[in-house]
Amino acid sequence: MNSPSVLAQPALVLNESWSAIHTVTVRHALRLMFTGAAKAVVPHSYEVHGFDSWTALAVEPDEPHIKTVRLKIKVPEVILLTHYAGQPNPAAVFSRRNLFRRDHNQCQYCGVRPGTAELSIDHIFPRSRGGKSSWENCVLACTDCNRTKRDRTPEEAGMRLLKRPDKPKWSPILEIPLGRVKHSWSRFVSDAYWDVRLEP
C-alpha cells in the first residue's frame, strides 16, 4: 500500500521525555528519521528504531507500507525526537473560531444547534456594563436566547447556562480530526485528549 495518502497520514511526535507534542505527516516523519533528528517507536513494545533498523523490519501482509525500488518500509505512526525536550504552548487563542469550537456550535442557554449563522457571542456580564471579552465571560447564544437575555445577566433574565465557561486546554494534537486519530497513540497522549468532546 504505497500511495500519496499513506505519506500524508499523521504521525505522532514525542519529545525526548516521551511527551506528545505535535503531529507531522508520515513523509516528514521519515525525513526526520533519515536525518537522525527522530527515531521510530513501536507503540506496543516501546522499541525505538533509527532509520536503518526501521527499514529492516518485516512488513506484515496487508500492513500499510511505503514501497521503494528495493524496500518495503513500515509506516511510522509514532516518532521520538532525539534532541528536543520542549513543550508546545497549550494555550488556546481567544477567537471567534475557537469559541465556536469550545461550545460545540451549541447555544449555551437552551442547547440548540441552529447553525453558525444563527449563533452569536453573548457576554454573560454585559459588555455595556463593563463585562470583558474573555473565555470566562463569553458563550454562544442562539437568536432567541440572545433576544430574551438582552442587556442583562443570566440571573436577571431568569436563564441558566448549560455549563460554566472556562478557557480550554488545547495543544496542537487536539487539532486532529477524529477520523485521523490512531489507536496506537493512546499510550502516549494524555487523558485530556481523549476526554475532549468532538462533534459527530
Q: Are 80 and 133 contained in the same domain?
A: no
Rounded percentage of the chain residues whose pLDDT exceeds 70: 82
Q: Are 60 and 109 contained in the same domain?
A: no
Q: Are 100 and 83 contained in the same domain?
A: no
pLDDT at 17: 85
Q: Are 36 and 133 contained in the same domain?
A: no
pLDDT at 199: 43
Q: Are 21 and 41 contained in the same domain?
A: yes
pLDDT digits (tens, 9 = 90+) for 18-62: 888 888 999 999 999 999 999 999 988 899 999 999 999 998 888
199 in a domain, yes or no? no
Other CB atoms within 10 Å distance of the CB of residue 56:
11
User: Could you tell me the pLDDT band of residue 68, with boundaries at 50, 70 and 90?
Assistant: confident
Query: What CATH code is carried by the domain that includes residue 117?
Result: 1.10.30.50
* Of 29-38, 80-89, 108-117, 145-154, minimum mean pLDDT range: 80-89
pLDDT at 98: 85
Q: Which domain holds residue 21?
A: 4-87+173-182
Measured CA angle at 195 (ends 189, 200), to 5 deg: 110
Total number of domains constituting the chain = 2
143 in a domain, yes or no? yes
User: Could you tell me the pLDDT band of residue 200, with boundaries at 50, 70 and 90?
Assistant: very low
**CA 150 – CA 141 distance, rounded (Å):** 11
Q: Are 81 and 125 contained in the same domain?
A: no
Query: Quick check: helix, strand or coil at residue 6?
Result: helix
The residue written with cell numbers 507534542 in the block is: 21
CA 160 remoteness from chain centre: 29
Beta bridge mates, 119: 142
Sign of the torsion angle spanned by Cα atoms 133, 138, 143, 145: negative
CB 39 within 8 A of CB 82: yes
Sign of the torsion angle spanned by Cα atoms 103, 107, 112, 114: negative
